[in-house]
Amino acid sequence: MERRGKRALVAVMALAALAGAGWLASGERQRPASAARSGGAAAISRRTAVVPALSVSPAPARLDRAQSASPVRVTPPAPPAPPSLRGADVDGAVIVDEHGDLVVGPEILALFDHFLTATGEEPAAVIRARIVAAIRERASGPAADQAIALLDRYLGYREAASAALVGPEADPAARLAALREVRRAHFGEADAAQLFGDEELEGEAAIEQARILADAALSPDDRDARIAEVEATLPDEIREAREEAVRPLVQQAEEQALRDAGASDEELHAHRVATVGAEAAERLAELDRRRAAWQERLDAFAGARAALEATVADPEARREAEEALLAGAFTPEERLRVRAILGVAP
């Protein structure tokens, strides 16, 4: 695919992420493409200076008589994890600087968001307790207290952001401006920049690139140059993450262009080896074989079903024969797909 097509695809995909069911639509934070670099150890190694910690005044310790008389506490077991959290690796990290203070950054928001995916599945108090427990598993002392204080600010921000975006649909730029205002009101300029800076840079770039793509007065070459200029303003890590996010779509588009041009299976395989490596090329070939086999089975069932419709007049008998065909050709899980694809009534 030409470089122009790749750049346009990056811009369109980034804007779709902003304007879809994520943070520009609901006020809830959607991790940008750059979130792929927010892992704990990697994030620590990339930092060259200590980020100022969130200022927190810890509450004085208080013990009532019952607590002082019984120093051993029994923590009640946490309720079973909701479906959205079962089997999922916990994302994000709590990073502590050399002074024992919390490093404010997107890594900790990723930790919060991991548990907040269960919103609606269990009470808010239970979700908060899960996050607090996860924080205390990863940090102690001032850093843990600061992280919990940041969590409460984040929960308040989510509510305020949702309220700020209620009403008539605004364009993406207006939504991003509203979110920036709410973020700085809850976190202050410095912490908001640490928490959401990369996300906002991506949003601004995607919005500007979408404007360029929609400008009919620009020639294709001018449009390509303007998009490249916007992309060049982003930090290297964000650009690399954005390209990585759309790479599978670029690969599919390139392969489809080769097929349309009459490329053989050998030529397609050679292209894959050159672009993604031999091991990945073999996995893609296996995926092609599985897709082809599935399509053959689906076509065979559709043909048999059409024959039934043409030869069996009684609706009930036709339905029973169709169900028998379905049960004989597909597993229970596959039948759900077949019903959805071909409109087979349950």
Say whether both 204 and 312 belong to one domain.
no
Is residue 39 packed enough to be buried (19+ CB in 10 Å), middle (13-18) or exposed (0-12)? middle
**223 in a structural domain:** no
Say whether both 174 and 33 belong to one domain.
yes
Say whether both 176 and 314 belong to one domain.
no
Range of the structural domain that residue 301 is part of: 279-342
Say whether both 289 and 167 belong to one domain.
no
Number of separate domains in the chain: 2
Closest CA to 53 of 185, 165, 144, 183: 144
Residue 60 sits at φ, ψ, to 5 deg, of -65, 145
Say whether both 193 and 290 belong to one domain.
no
Say whether both 170 and 307 belong to one domain.
no
**268 in a structural domain:** no
**269 in a structural domain:** no
**105 in a structural domain:** yes
**171 in a structural domain:** yes
Which pLDDT score is estimated for 15?
A: 52
Say whether both 165 and 298 belong to one domain.
no
Which pLDDT score is estimated for 144?
A: 95
> What's the pTM?
0.57
**69 in a structural domain:** no
User: What's the distance, CA 101 to chain centroid?
Assistant: 29
CB-facing half-sphere around the CA of 248: CA atoms within 13 A: 3
Give DSSP secondary structure letters for 204-237. HHHHHHHHHHH-TTS-HHHHHHHHHHHHHTS-HH
Tens-binned pLDDT, residue by residue, of the chain (346 aa): 455 555 555 555 555 544 443 444 444 555 555 554 444 433 333 333 333 333 333 343 443 433 444 455 555 666 788 887 888 888 899 999 999 999 999 999 999 999 999 998 889 999 999 999 999 999 999 999 999 999 999 999 999 988 887 665 668 888 899 899 999 999 999 999 999 998 999 899 989 999 999 999 999 899 989 998 998 888 888 888 877 877 888 888 888 999 899 999 899 999 999 988 999 899 999 999 999 999 999 999 999 999 999 999 998 999 999 999 999 999 988 988 898 888 887 7
Amino acid (1-letter code) at residue 20? G
Q: Report d(CA 203, CA 209) in Å as an integer.
A: 10
**169 in a structural domain:** yes
**256 in a structural domain:** no
